[in-house]
Amino acid sequence: MGDQMRVTSLAVLSLLACACMMLAAPAASEDAGVGPPLALPPGEAPALPKAGPLAAPLSQDQVGFPAALTASAIPPNSPLKPAAVALGERLFFESRLSGDGSVACATCHDPARAFTDGRPLSIGIHGCVGQRNAPTVLNALYNKTQFWDGRVTTLEEQAALPITNPCEMGSIDLTSAVAKITGDQRYQAQFMEAFGKEMNDKDMLRAIASYERTLASFDSPFDHFIAGDERAISDSAKRGWALFNTKARCHLCHALTDDKPDVTAFTDNDFHNIGIGILRHNVVPLAQQAERELTQGQLKEVDTAAIASDLSVLGRFLVTKKEADIASFKTPDLRNILVTGPYFHDGGMDTLWDVVDHYNKGDGISDPWLDQDMQPLAMTEPEIDDMVAFLVSLTSSQYKKRGDEEYARQLALSKVSRPQRDTARAFGPKPVQPKPPPF
Give CA–CA dist 114/434, Å, rounded: 39
How many residues form the binding site for ligand HEC (CB under 6 A)?
A: 52
Footprint (CB under 6 A) of ligand HEC, residues 293-322: 306-307
Cis preceding-peptide flag for 376 (omega within 30 of 0): no
Query: Which of the stretches 7-15, 181-189, 336-344, 418-426 binds ligand HEC when contact is defined by CB under 6 A?
Result: 336-344
Among 248, 294, 308, 318, binds ligand HEC (CB under 6 A): 248
Tell me the CA end-to-end span of the chain in Å, nearest whole number: 51
Under the binding rule (CB under 6 A), the answer on residue 191 touching ligand HEC is no
Under the binding rule (CB under 6 A), the answer on residue 152 touching ligand HEC is no
H helices present in 109-234, as ranges: 155-164, 174-179, 185-195, 201-212, 221-226
Cβ proximity to ligand HEC: between 83 and 307 the closer is 307
Query: How buried is 260 (Cβ within 10 angstroms: 0-12 exposed, 13-18 middle, 19+ buried)?
Result: exposed
CB contact set of 168 (below 8 Å; sequence gap of 6+):
98, 103, 108, 122, 124, 125, 128, 130, 161, 162, 307
Query: How buried is 125 (Cβ within 10 angstroms: 0-12 exposed, 13-18 middle, 19+ buried)?
Result: buried
Do residues 294 and 244 make contact, with C-beta atoms less than 8 angstroms apart?
A: no
CA-based max dimension of the chain: 66
Under the binding rule (CB under 6 A), the answer on residue 343 touching ligand HEC is yes
**CB of residue 398 vs ligand HEC: minimum separation in angstroms?**
18
**CB of residue 161 vs ligand HEC: minimum separation in angstroms?**
8
Do residues 420 and 351 make contact, with C-beta atoms less than 8 angstroms apart?
A: no
Mark residue 77 as left, alpha or beta (left: phi above 0; alpha: psi -120 to 50; beta: remaining).
alpha
Footprint (CB under 6 A) of ligand HEC, residues 264-283: 272, 274, 276
Under the binding rule (CB under 6 A), the answer on residue 162 touching ligand HEC is yes
Among 60, 143, 398, 420, binds ligand HEC (CB under 6 A): 143
Other beta carbons within 10 Å of 343: 20
Under the binding rule (CB under 6 A), the answer on residue 238 touching ligand HEC is no
Query: Which of the stretches 20-28, 137-145, 181-189, 281-289 binds ligand HEC when contact is defined by CB under 6 A?
Result: 137-145
Cβ proximity to ligand HEC: between 5 and 126 the closer is 126
Can you give the binding site for ligand HEC, defined by CB under 6 A? 103, 105, 107-109, 122, 124, 130, 132, 134-135, 137, 140, 143, 146-148, 155, 158-159, 162-163, 168-169, 208, 248-250, 252-254, 272, 274, 276, 306-307, 329, 331-332, 334, 337, 340, 343-345, 355-356, 359, 371, 373-374, 387
